[in-house]
Amino acid sequence: GAVVSQHPSWVICKSGTSVKIECRSLDFQATTMFWYRQFPKQSLMLMATSNEGSKATYEQGVEKDKFLINHASLTLSTLTVTSAHPEDSSFYICSARDLGTVPYEQYFGPGTRLTVT
């Protein structure tokens, strides 16, 4: 089956620094990827839709200047949390849409746990 990877699986950074999270589709091309955020014991919330070759679409309430998304190729999207603060600590999950399936399937990465100290 289709595989989506995320790197790193966990990261600790100091307040004020930036951290980049990668999402890769390993065996299929993905023009669209999605970024979700999950706080402890809560549900997943869609943050943004990442489109290859164009600007990301952010959900209402998500600061686009804080969460920079770049989808530079058909297999890679990156989420950069800029000037991270403790309240940005969360579990970030990406998913990727497989163009080759009808209706399209969406596969999830294993997630990245971000802790800001």
Partner 1 sequence: AQTVTQSQPEMSVQEAETVTLSCTYDTSESNYYLFWYKQPPSRQMILVIRQEAYKQQNATENRFSVNFQKAAKSFSLKISDSQLGDTAMYFCAFRGSGGGADGLTFGKGTHLIIQP
Of the pair 25, 95, the CB lying nearest partner 1 is at 95
CB 94 within 8 A of CB 40: no
CA distance 99 to 96: 9
Residue of the chain from 5, 51, 70, 82 that contacts partner 1 (CB under 8 A): 51
Residues 46, 48, 49, 52, Cα dihedral to 10°: -150
CA distance 84 to 103: 37
Of the pair 15, 39, the CB lying nearest partner 1 is at 39
Structure tokens belonging to residue 80? 């950069």
Residue of the chain from 2, 11, 13, 44 that contacts partner 1 (CB under 8 A): 44
Stretch that binds partner 1, among 13-21, 51-59, 67-75, 79-87 (CB under 8 A): 51-59
Of the pair 75, 111, the CB lying nearest partner 1 is at 111
Report strand pairing: 67-73 vs 57-58: unpaired
Contact set with partner 1 (CB under 8 A): 32, 34, 36, 38, 42-46, 49, 51, 57, 59, 91, 93, 95, 97, 103-104, 106, 108, 110-111
